[in-house]
Every structure is written in C-alpha cells, then in structure tokens.
Amino acid sequence: MERRIVHVDMDAFFAAIEQRDDPSLKGKPVIIGADPLGGRGRGVVSTCSYEARKFGVRSAMPISEAWRRCPKGVYLAPDFRKYEEASGLIRSAFYEFTPDLEQVSIDEAFLDITRSAHLFGGPLETCRRIKARVKELTGLTCSVGLAPTKMAAKIASDLKKPDGLVEVRPEGLRAFLAPLDISRLWGLGPKTAEVLRARGINTVGELAAAEADELRGLGVHGPELKNLAMGEDPREVREEEGARSVGNEITFSADTGDAREIKESLVALADKVSSRLREGGFKGRTVTLKVRLEGFETHTRARTLAFATNYADVLAKEALALYAAFDRGRKKVRLLGVKVSGLMPAGERESLFEEAEDGRREKAHKAIEAIREKFGRGAIYRAGGKKDI
C-alpha cells in the first residue's frame, strides 16, 4: 500500500507566538534572539517573523547583521517556556490523528496517516483538519506537506510557507523530485554533490537517470542515492531516540580564552538546560557541546551516557569533560552551547539500580526549584555557575 506521510512545520514559530501574545506586534518585523545592544550585540537570531525576512533577516545570522538590515525591528529575547508549551499542544493535536508520530524538533513532526486517513475523510482532508486543529489549540499557523515518502513530505511542507498545504500524489512523486537540486536529497553531503556535479549531474532527475558507471566511486552509497532520486525512500516515521532536544547557548560579549569564565558559563548552561528539561518533564541521554571560535568556526562534541538524566551537576560534568577534551588551538571562544537529546519522559526508569540515587537527587533539585519559584531565577546558582542566560 502506498504510504501517506505528512510533514508539519510551524511558521516562524517563536516569532508567531510572540505576535499572538502581543497583538501590537502583528504585521511588524519581530526578531527573536540575542540582545542586539544597538548593533553591538554578538549573539545570533533564533528566528524572525516573515515581515522581518523581507529585510533579509534569517535564523542563525549574527544579531548585529540583523540590526544593520532591520534597525526598526522589534527585538525580543526567547521565552522557551511558552514555546515548549505550544510544542506540547501541537503534539497533542497530531496524536488525535495518528499514533505514528515522529517529533523532529520543537516545531516540526512527521505523521504517518496511511492507516488513519480514512477516518478523517482521506489524506488531504486529514491535513486540512490537522492545520485547523493546530490553529484551534495554539492560535498559530503551520505548513504541511503530504507525500508517499518522508523526504518528499518535508520538501513539500516548505514550498508554500506560511500556512501552506502541498500534496505530492504517488503517481506524481518522480516528476515532483526531478527538477530539484541534488543537495535536497537526504544523506547526500556536499562532497558527494561535488563529485556528481563534476559529472554533469545537478538535479534529482539527472541522478535518477544516471548509469551505474556515472555513480562509480560512491561505494554502496551510489545505488542508494539513485533509489532515493527515483522516489524510493523506505525510511519510516518513528519516534527516534535523539530526535528531540533541549539546548541553550551563550555568546560572549568579547571572545574569551579565560578558563574560569568558560567553566562558569558551561556550568550555567548545564543548569539552564537542566531546568528546562525538568519543566518539560524530560531527561535525555546525549549531551552535546557546541563551541564557536573566533571567526565563526563552529565545532560540536557529543557523548551518550549510560543513563538518561536531567540533573544539572551531571550535565555540567559532561559539558566540562567534553570541553576539556576539545582542542581550540590558540583561538578564543565566541560562543558555547550545551544540548541534551535522546529525550524520554523524566518518570521513566531505565533500571531499578538508579532508584536510591534518584530519590536523593530529586530532593535536592526540588528544593532548588522551590527557592527559584519564590525568589525568581537568579536567586540561586550551583557552585561555580553565577551567570544567568
């Protein structure tokens, strides 16, 4: 049976939430991210409203560049608690339509509706209803792609943003893929793309029509990529461990090589990520450290733990160990990030063995949270971490 896969991606997610909650922001360029400090800010843009995109502002752009392009924009710091709440709501909306759900990020998910679409009037009608339900629960719009494969659904959801709905019918799949640039194919990295381009293969259609001899040197990857180009993508929708993550970053006001400042920042980041995980009711197994050096050169290092955790001290220890093993040469540090992925519900036990230790730690964390609730964030910091982010 042909599969019917849906990809949903919220529109300008963080910015749309801010516009929803403050109607005076509607229709205005709204930029969420680091403090621009009148153009001297050194952090990055998380996202921005479509009005701001007209000025050329984009996610991950230095905030100073955004300020240059759009000095009249409304600049706001992110409020993750609100975004995670909305993320929970869209997830519950999706579950009303199918249990086969894969949340890819805070605002994006795949749904396999092959077996459930008939209950809602067919695949396209199911997509309309998903959009309506998301709007009803959150007041936000999303863009939806419906296709026989995950890759095509993801590409389709991006085509008519915002508030889009694009269907790729099974019989139209190859024609849909053919004109796309090969870089759109999942798993096709820049090096492979370069090799293929040198052989005159630039589009997915050209790759689909390639002879075995034109794919030489690509190893086992060659036939796989050709299959993908022909619309054969067997990847299934499933809740993968590691798909969702919670992370925070800090950009230093000046590049730093100061060991103490770096250490304190990592501890504070771990603390912040721990709080967000606990607020969301999650723990996770993989800790990723991001280090951006002067000149914007960016590196990541990750480690997967034996047990999932949301404890600040464990996260801090891992982040510090990852940093200690990282060689930055003589370059100073511009940005640090700590992220936890491989999430699962906090209450889920992986072994009985954890129980006693857990009980003790749980008490300590609860006490800290109670103080924070009373006196606000900033009232308490773990030893070594005195920065709020």
- Which residues of the shown chain bind ligand TTP in the complex (CB under 6 A)? 9-14, 46-47, 59-60, 106-108, 161-162
Q: Tell me the DSSP string of 269-309.
A: HHHHHHHHHHHHTEEEEEEEEEEEEGGG-EEEEEEEEEEEE
Query: Which residues lie below 8 Å from residue 330, measured CB to CB, with a gap of 6+?
Result: none
Among the candidate windows 10-18, 120-128, 159-167, 344-352, which touches Mg ion by CB under 5 A?
A: 10-18
Rounded to 5 degrees, φ, ψ at 2 are -60, 135
| Residue 106 contact partner, candidates ligand TTP, Mg ion, none, CB within 5 to 8 A by sort of partner | ligand TTP
CA dist 361 and 118 (Å) reads: 48
CA dist 199 and 152 (Å) reads: 25
Select 58 or 317, whichever has its Cβ closest to ligand TTP.
58
Our finding on whether 32 is near Mg ion (CB under 5 A) is no
Minimum CB separation of residue 57 from Mg ion in Å reads 15
CA-based torsion, 216, 222, 226, 227: positive or negative: positive
| Residue 288 contact partner, candidates Mg ion, ligand TTP, none, CB within 5 to 8 A by sort of partner | none
Is-contact 233 206, C-beta < 8 A?
A: no
CA dist 73 and 65 (Å) reads: 12
171 burial via Cβ count (<10 Å: 0-12, 13-18, 19+): exposed
Select 102 or 206, whichever has its Cβ closest to ligand TTP.
102
Minimum CB separation of residue 139 from Mg ion in Å reads 15
Window 242-301: residues binding Mg ion (CB under 5 A): none
Select 16 or 185, whichever has its Cβ closest to Mg ion.
16
Minimum CB separation of residue 41 from ligand TTP in Å reads 15
Select 63 or 109, whichever has its Cβ closest to Mg ion.
109
Whole-number CA gyration radius for the chain: 23
Active-site annotation holds for 108 = yes
Minimum CB separation of residue 107 from Mg ion in Å reads 4
| Residue 59 contact partner, candidates ligand TTP, Mg ion, none, CB within 5 to 8 A by sort of partner | ligand TTP
Query: Which residues lie below 8 Å from residue 273, measured CB to CB, with a gap of 6+?
Result: 246, 247, 248, 315, 338, 339, 340
Minimum CB separation of residue 366 from ligand TTP in Å reads 29
Minimum CB separation of residue 155 from ligand TTP in Å reads 13
Identified catalytic residue from 18, 102, 108, 318: 108
Query: Which residues lie below 8 Å from residue 98, measured CB to CB, with a gap of 6+?
Result: 111, 112, 113, 115, 116
Our finding on whether 9 is near Mg ion (CB under 5 A) is yes
| Residue 275 contact partner, candidates ligand TTP, Mg ion, none, CB within 5 to 8 A by sort of partner | none
Pick one of 5, 6, 8, 10: the residue that binds Mg ion (CB under 5 A).
10
Select 51 or 108, whichever has its Cβ closest to ligand TTP.
108
Question: What is the rounded (10 degree) CA torsion for 137, 134, 106, 277?
Answer: 20
Q: What is the contact mask toward Mg ion in residues 88 to 127, using x (rule: CB under 5 A)?
A: -------------------x--------------------
CA dist 174 and 232 (Å) reads: 9
CA dist 272 and 11 (Å) reads: 26
Is-contact 70 52, C-beta < 8 A?
A: yes
| Residue 161 contact partner, candidates Mg ion, ligand TTP, none, CB within 5 to 8 A by sort of partner | ligand TTP
Minimum CB separation of residue 226 from ligand TTP in Å reads 29
Our finding on whether 8 is near Mg ion (CB under 5 A) is no
Select 245 or 310, whichever has its Cβ closest to ligand TTP.
245
Q: Tell me the DSSP string of 153-208.
A: HHHHHTTT-SS-EEE--GGGHHHHHTTSBGGGSTT--HHHHHHHHHTT--BHHHHH
| Residue 46 contact partner, candidates ligand TTP, Mg ion, none, CB within 5 to 8 A by sort of partner | ligand TTP
Q: Can you state the percent helix, strand and coil of the chain, rounding each to 5? A: 45, 25, 35
| Residue 47 contact partner, candidates ligand TTP, Mg ion, none, CB within 5 to 8 A by sort of partner | ligand TTP
Q: Which amino acid, 193?
A: A
Select 21 or 297, whichever has its Cβ closest to Mg ion.
21
Instruction: Please give the positions annotated as active site.
Output: 108
Q: Which positions lie near Mg ion, rule CB under 5 A?
A: 9-10, 13, 107
